[in-house]
Structures are given as C-alpha cells and as structure tokens.
Amino acid sequence: MFIKQLYTGCLSEAAYYIESNGEAAIVDPLRDIEEYLDLAKERNATIKYIFETHFHADFVSGHLDLSKVSGAPIIYGPDTETKFPVQVAKDGDTFKIGNITMEVLHTPGHTLESTCYLLKDESGKDHCVFTGDTLFVGDVGRPDLAQKGEDITMNDLAGMLYESIHNKIFPLADDVIVYPAHGPGSACGKNLGPHTFSTIGAEKATNYALKAVTKEEFIKEVTDGIAAPPNYFPINAMINKQGYESLDEILMTGLKCLSVQEFKNLITDDVIILDTRKETEFVNGFVPDSISIGLDGRFAEWAGSLLPFDKPMLLVTETGKEKETIIRLARVGFDKVCGYLDGSFEAWKNANEEIDLIIDVEADELMMDLPYDENLVVVDVRRETEFADGHLKDAMNIPLNEMTEPASMANIDDKHNVYVHCTGGYRSVIAASLMKRQGIHKLRNVVGGWNAIKEQEKVEIVKEKSMLN
C-alpha cells in the first residue's frame, strides 16, 4: 500500500494518490492533472477510480480531465446530481484498489453530498479516512455553503454535520489517520490547525468542534463568528457540478504571445490586465490600470475573490511564468485569458508606452507624517479580526476582499493623502492597484506593513475589544 498527499500551498488544498498492487485511486484532484498521471506512470500503476468528497467551492477539480485521460470513473457520494456522468455511491459501498478497500461514509453537513472515504489495509484494518471538508485538523467544514436551489439553512447543515461526525467519524479507532482536503489558511473552515493530517484520537482531544457535547452546542460553536465565504465559492461549486472546458483548450487560447502593439490593441474598458510579478517589482512600474496579484502569495484565492469571471483577461507575468499563471487561474475557474505580453513589462517600458507606479514609503516616514498632515488617511486592508487585534488610531479599515464593492472607497476623496498597508506588503499592493483603477492616485504603499508599523517608537496601537471577545 502506498499513499501520497499532494499538497498545494497557495490553495491550502490536499489531493491524494493511493495505490496497491498496480491499481491507483485519486482523491479530490486539482484541475492540472499531470502530477497524478506522472506518478501513476512512474510507479507502473493504472488509475482505477477518481473519488470526490463533495462539490468543491474553493477550486475547480480535475475530475473530468483526469477521467477522460485515464478512463477511470468519477465516484461521488449519495445525493449527488451532476451534468456529466458519475458513479453515485451508496453509504457503505466498497471499492477494491489492488489489495486494499475504500468504504463510502456519507457525511452530509458541509454540503449535502459530502462523503468521507475510509481506507482499509490488506488485512481489512481501518488505516485512514479521507475526510474532505467534513473534518479538518483542529476544525470542521463550514456549514454555510448551501447551493442555489437547496432549501436548507446554515443551522440545518451544522446539525447534519454534528450527526455525521458523531455517527460516522467518532466510532473510528483513535489511531486511524485523518487526511483532510485542506490545511492552514483555507477559507473552507473557521481556523484550521497548522498541520495537514492528524489522527482520530488527536482530533477528539484537541478539535474545538469535537468537544461540543450536545448538537445545540456544536451548532453554536461552528457557526459563531464565521466569516462570509469568498465571492468565488458559489461559482466554483457550480463549475464542479455542471462541468467545464478542458485545461488544454484554455492553455491553447491563453498562451498567445502578444507584441506590445497587439497587447495594446486588445485593451478596452472591459478587459482586465492582470500583473502577476512580485509586488516589489510592480510598484516600480506597470501598465496603467493593471491589477497586481503576485504569484508568490495566495494568488488563486485572491484572483477568485477580486476578479470578474466574465471578462477577458490579459497577462503581464515574469518571463517564463505564463503557463503557471494560466494554470493557477484555471484552478479557480478563470478561462478567458486572451494572451500575455511578450517580454513582460520591460517590453512595454522599452516601447516608451505610458506607465504608472506606486510610491513606497517606510513605516517611520508614515509615523513622521501622521501628526502634521491633516489630509493623511491610513487605509488598513487587513481582515476585520486582524484590524481588531491592533491598528493605528483613526485608521480606516477596508478589508481587501471588500474592495470590489464601489461603496468601499466612498469615504476617500481627492484631498486625501492615502497610506495603505496590510500585514507585510502583499495585500497592500493589490489594494493600491485596485484604488488606482478607481481613480485614487494620491497614495503610498507602506513597506513592511503592520509588522513594521507596530515596531515604531511612540506608536499608538488601538484594539477593538468588542470584536475580540
């Protein structure tokens, strides 16, 4: 028996390769499937099954492309309805993979079709359970993602999740390994732990949700303080349910190399220019109206949260990163990339085209300017909980994920000198690029963000105690 967790950090997503006696299965594959095919080829195995734990909301799965290439059927749990052929398993069904067995455990709660898969080893002993978004390390799946047309409330789903965990997960032995679909940083739970796998015993002992004694207590624990899901979640869930264009076709269209003039000819008010270079490069010069989302951060998540899915997109990337950018965009459902700028931003600059930039300032310069500039406005783009845990006095909190709302910047006008920051600098550059597109040009990006600001002498830090209780 061979099991490998294939973890993608920028999405906090875990897929799994399972193999026994020349037969393999993939659990929750990403849209780019080469890694699974290469691993099976390297190990001289045949992919027999593709198991999906549920309709994922935070990424587009690779189930369709992988099934087409491998011929393996796509397995979903009970209550699954799709627009494409799948095998809908019943609770308790088993599937042989070489000398090992996968058992279906229907665990509704995160979604109605959510299913865990219990893997039994060659001797029939329970070895591990692939829990999808039902159970994470230190958390459980969010119960507020009912899909359009489902007449069910968040509390209803939370109650189902309680029953699923207590009836299907709790009876498993303490030494059974827990392999979830996500790790730390994922928005699929409230606050996932720092590790990407655990055991049933460890989760019973440490997971806050599993300590709840009654269903009512469980519902309150898992729904209290839950943040709104990212905007792209319902879009991705629908794509996974209805089907999608193959990644090869998206790459064929997106990997169109455009000269400066060709790139310029395609720019209209309806086109998104996405610049995926490092934020430290972007601030020094970019094509006007570009949106900065660097590949080095949580790229796909922020792209899905901030960019429209229905508009054509042009790319400015670091040379050699064009394909990676398109693949990572496709992972969250973007399929309208029209091409990329040949020679990156340097080609645009060398052609003497108009450029824009963002001025960087150090934290100490901000602190010197604060007492003397009555028009200075500090815009803190961290999440509300981060802001509540400590911020500058009189700072304006506009969380980055809310910056697509026109009203979010209504209190900023032409007289203001805007200093924008996040925690370290990644999100603030994204925010500054969005503000530039809104016509806000008197702005500065605070290098080092809150990490640098809070270390300054005589800094006055304010906390929002009501939000922290």
Read off the pLDDT of each residue in 328-355 and give the average, rounded to a whole number: 97
Tens digit of pLDDT for each residue in 384-408?
Answer: 989 999 999 999 999 999 998 877 8
**Structural domain total, the chain:** 3
Q: What is the CATH number of the domain that holds 152?
A: 3.60.15.10
Closest CA to 377 of 408, 418, 411: 418
Read off the pLDDT of each residue in 281-293 and give the average, rounded to a whole number: 98
The pLDDT value given to residue 235: 95
283/396 same-domain check? no
Tens digit of pLDDT for each residue in 162-198?
Answer: 999 999 999 999 999 999 999 999 999 988 999 999 9
Examine residue 293 and state whether it is found in any structural domain, yes or no. yes
Average pLDDT, the chain: 95
Q: Which of 235, 261, 284 is the last residue of a domain?
A: 235
Question: Roughly how many angstroms between the first and final C-alpha of the chain, as a whole number?
Answer: 47
User: What number of other Cβ atoms are within 10 A of residue 89's Cβ?
Assistant: 21
76/144 same-domain check? yes
335/409 same-domain check? no
399/324 same-domain check? no
User: What number of other Cβ atoms are within 10 A of residue 313's Cβ?
Assistant: 24
151/255 same-domain check? no
Positive or negative torsion for Cα 162, 163, 166, 168:
negative
The pLDDT value given to residue 190: 86
Examine residue 240 and state whether it is found in any structural domain, yes or no. no
pLDDT at 468 over 90: no
pLDDT at 467 over 60: no
Closest CA to 231 of 353, 370, 333, 119: 333
261/223 same-domain check? no
The pLDDT value given to residue 147: 74
Examine residue 138 and state whether it is found in any structural domain, yes or no. yes
Tell me which residue has tokens 């039994």.
120
What is d(CA 295, CA 382) in angstroms, rounded to the nearest whole number? 19
The pLDDT value given to residue 149: 64
Tens digit of pLDDT for each residue in 288-341?
Answer: 999 999 999 899 999 999 999 999 999 999 999 999 999 999 999 999 999 999
What is d(CA 264, CA 292) in angstroms, rounded to the nearest whole number? 18
198/287 same-domain check? no
Read off the pLDDT of each residue in 230-241 and give the average, rounded to a whole number: 94
Q: Which of 235, 270, 305 is the last residue of a domain?
A: 235
306/416 same-domain check? no
Tens digit of pLDDT for each residue in 108-155?
Answer: 999 999 999 999 999 999 999 999 999 999 999 999 988 766 788 999
Structure tokens at 102: 């996968």
Examine residue 176 and state whether it is found in any structural domain, yes or no. yes
Q: How confident is the model at residue 241 (pLDDT cuts 50, 70, 90)?
A: very high
- 173 in Cβ contact with 124 (< 8 Å): no
pLDDT at 282 over 70: yes
The pLDDT value given to residue 228: 86
What is d(CA 160, CA 162) in angstroms, rounded to the nearest whole number? 5
The pLDDT value given to residue 97: 98
343/370 same-domain check? no
- Show the domain range for 292: 246-350
Higher pLDDT, 74 or 464: 74
Residues 6+ away with beta carbon under 8 Å from 396? 377, 378, 379, 380, 411, 412
Examine residue 241 and state whether it is found in any structural domain, yes or no. no
The pLDDT value given to residue 57: 95
Read off the pLDDT of each residue in 351-370 and give the average, rounded to a whole number: 96
> For the chain, what is the HEC assignment?
CEEEEEEEHHHCEEEEEEEECCEEEEECCECCCHHHHHHHHHCCCEEEEEECCCCCCCCCECHHHHHHHHCCCEEECCCCCCCCCCEECCCCCEEEECCEEEEEEECCCCCCCCEEEEEECCCCCEEEEEEECCEECCEECCCCCCCCCCCCCHHHHHHHHHHHHHHHHCCCCCCCEEEECECCCCCCCCCCCCCCCEEHHHHHHHCCHHHCCCHHHHHHHHHCCCCCCCCCHHHHHHHHHHCCCCHHHHHHHHCCEECHHHHHHHCCCCCEEEECCCHHHHCCCECCCCEECCCCCCHHHHHHHHCCCCCCEEEECCCCCHHHHHHHHHCCCCCCEEEEECCHHHHHHHCCCCCECCEEECHHHHHHHCCCCCCEEEEECCCHHHHHCCEECCCEECCHHHCCCHHHHCCCCCCCEEEEECCCCHHHHHHHHHHHHCCCCCEEEECCHHHHHCCCCCCCEECCHHHHC
366/278 same-domain check? no
Tell me which residue has tokens 């940083």.
185
The pLDDT value given to residue 297: 87
Higher pLDDT, 10 or 175: 175
Q: Which of 188, 210, 235 is the last residue of a domain?
A: 235
Read off the pLDDT of each residue in 56-83 and give the average, rounded to a whole number: 96
State the Cα angle at 438 between 435 and 440, rounded to 5°: 60
% of residues, the chain, pLDDT over 90? 89
150/297 same-domain check? no
- 327 in Cβ contact with 8 (< 8 Å): no
Residues 6+ away with beta carbon under 8 Å from 80? 55, 86, 88, 113
Q: Whole-prediction pTM value?
A: 0.92
440/329 same-domain check? no
- 278 in Cβ contact with 296 (< 8 Å): yes
